[in-house]
Structure 1
Amino acid sequence: MKIQLASIAAAFAAFASPVAGLAAESYPLRSFMTQEVLGEPPAADEAIRPVEYRLSSCDGCCDEPCCGDLCCGDACGCGAEPCVLPATLLGCFCESDHCFDDWISPMTNPVFFEDPRTLTELRGIFLQHKVPSTAGGGDVQLYALQIRAALTERLSLIATKDGYAVSDNPLIADGWADVALGLKYNLIRDTYTQTLLSGGVVYELPVGSHRTQQGNGDGEFHLFLTGGTQVCCDCRVISALGLRLPADQDAESTSMYWSNHVDYHLGRGFYALAEFNWYHWLVDGGGGVPGVSGGDLFNFGSTGIAGNDIVTGAFGMKYKPSRYYELGLAWENPLTRRRDVMENRLTADLILRY
């Protein structure tokens, strides 16, 4: 009996050894299973942590454990049940891309600094904006709602500007903001390295209140590229470059911007963030207030602003208890001597995401 058992054990070992080697080579189990699944205590090996984050991002849209494109590329967002454009126009919107759920959205330059992800969400924004005395002083409060809707796995409809402004500044009275609508397309999507690049075009309809310095000219086009990547397990960076082109160059000025975001996950859904925005004016308008452009929220179409630069810096916090909710607060100040219409600004946002 002992001889038979020893023979069976030896045969099993001989059979299992190459199979185990093949499995380890083809499907590295630990590379896409967390310690919690394996029933082990958290390891000190930090190399597993990015995979854990991606697994949490895919959790719920994948039937099996996944890592990178093994599952997420086909089973998250629109991949599970493709949503074609005719159906979309009848009210079928795709889910957000949940393979990047550990990211948070930028906060400052809110009309133009676009998140590179394909998202379906409502984003409520409140701005408490203080105007410097050189531009009349006072405060402007803006209440706005942004809408993003994924039409396909890479294409999304974005409504980035609207809302109502309350102001005691002599240049800006209470009234409605213009409405901006456009499309964003994801050009590069690498779930393994957590890297994204998207581009888009937005048209701002001049339908706002003239007394609020809105509704100028024939509207404005916004062309942009936005991208980001995960630097380490808990840190991500996002950068966007955009051009603002007025349809009527006499009524509004031409400008460009470069916005940057970095965040660090502190744990338990809390993120610390820092952002920097550079605004540069390329071509003057034909009127407005000489030397005052209007910043990111307004376009006065002023003379004497070509070549001007403004750089702002911001720091803040975000709380993201799940993939479906995001709450943020950021404080922003100009870092250059030139301030234009911004003395400082407090931005708060609440995101409800599908």
Structure 2
Amino acid sequence: MKQEVFLSRGILSVFLALVIAILIRPCPVFSSDFDRFIMPVSNPVYLGDARNITMLRPIYMYHNLSHKVDTRLGKVPVDGHAEILAVQATYAFNERFSLVAVKDGYVDCDPDDTMHSHSGWADLAAGLQYSFFYKPEKDCIISARLVYELPSGSDDVFQGNGDGNIAPALLFLKGYGDLQFSGTLGFVIPIDKNEENTLFYDAWHLSYAVTSWFHPLIELNHFYVIDSGDREAPSSGVGALGTSKEDDLVAGIAEFNGCDLINLGGKYNDGNRNLVTLALGSRFRVTEWLDFGMAYEFSLTDEEKSMFDDRYTIDAVITLRF
């Protein structure tokens, strides 16, 4: 990826905000009652952590694009891959309330066929999370989260649509001895429904602490298009390829939404409403403040009905203690 990836303004802004918050109000990282549990690995924007912790989470994803995709023009070859580098951050005011920054970073998209290679910034998304059910004695947390995604990204990588969206969600975590079951249910609601799709999503995590440092995991992610947007292909048709209108062309002819990181908002994106992926991986606890995670994720629905063939995700969770 290009060197400027490491200078992402999203990463910098999140880091500075976190530092300012820390200087203003030091706090415990999270309740010690839940420190044996782990954060999910796949679907990082939407499969959240019900705990309220203070942490930094650098993420790298290598995403293989579908070989062919369903469109209004028939099956179109795409293939190739995309690379994403991002940093998430959360700041816990206490064990029940936190500030969450869930999306930022840089995307390098390199399809082999039809579309041209592009790179650019991802949208920025942040919000608040509150645990209204907090029962350490039952190893259970249920939290509500509200996130706003700012359309600050580059349309070259299918970001920056409309006026952004809000994503309300419920997150839960339940422990059963060494077993952890957690998940998220939520919606993506665009401010401008002509420019983005309205989505429902549910995401599930199951892991087992084989040892204190080794947690194999399995995760299931599902996205459903409730209502498609109204973006149409430009009048130039396929002549838009390689121009600033290429994203409009893709959105206007695609019969699917794309993937978790992309909301196309196209008129025909409800042709294939469901995207389901399965991730297999593990998280490794190196110290009490550092975890590494890795997962291999693949589509359970027809890969031609999305931009998702498979994906490799690697991350680190750096827990900040004061």
TM over 0.5: yes
- Aligned equivalents of 1:342, 1:323: Cα separation in 2: 34
Flag the structure with larger Rg.
Answer: 1
* Partner of residue 172 from structure 2, selected from 227, 245, 248: 227
Where do 1:321-340 residues align within 5 Å?
Answer: 321-338=286-303, 339-340=305-306
Find out whether 1:241 has 2:185 as its counterpart: yes
Find out whether 1:142 has 2:84 as its counterpart: yes
Query: Structure 1 regions of 5+ residues with no counterpart?
Result: 1-86
Partner of 1:192, secondary structure, is helix
Aligned residues: 267
8 Å CA contact retained: 2:256, 2:273: no
8 Å CA contact retained: 1:277, 1:313: yes
- Aligned equivalents of 1:266, 1:172: Cα separation in 2: 42
Where do 1:38-187 residues align within 5 Å?
Answer: 91-97=24-30, 98-135=32-69, 136-169=78-111, 170=115, 173-187=118-132
Find out whether 1:309 has 2:254 as its counterpart: no
Aligned to 2:307: 341
CA shift at 1:303, angstroms? 2.0
* Partner of residue 195 from structure 1, selected from 127, 140, 149: 140
TM-score, L = length of structure 1: 0.72
- Aligned equivalents of 1:342, 1:255: Cα separation in 2: 17
Runs of 4+ more than 3 Å apart? 87-90
- Aligned equivalents of 1:171, 1:336: Cα separation in 2: 25
Identify which of structures 1 and 2 has the higher relative contact order when contacts are C-alpha pairs closer than 8 Å and 6+ apart: 2
CA shift at 1:230, angstroms? 0.7
Percent identical residues: 32
- Aligned equivalents of 1:226, 1:353: Cα separation in 2: 20
Find out whether 1:285 has 2:229 as its counterpart: yes
CA shift at 1:337, angstroms? 2.2
Letter paired with 1:208: G
- Aligned equivalents of 2:95, 2:273: Cα separation in 1: 39
- Aligned equivalents of 1:217, 1:314: Cα separation in 2: 31
Aligned to 2:209: 265
TM-score, L = length of structure 2: 0.79
Letter paired with 1:104: I
Cα deviation code 1:99-148 (max 9, x no counterpart): 21111101111111110001100001000000012242210000000010
The structure with more strand, counted as a fraction of residues: 2
- Aligned equivalents of 1:249, 1:123: Cα separation in 2: 31
The structure with more helix, counted as a fraction of residues: 1
- Aligned equivalents of 1:164, 1:352: Cα separation in 2: 20
The 1:171/1:107 distance shift into structure 2, 3 A limit, reads farther
CA shift at 1:190, angstroms? 0.9
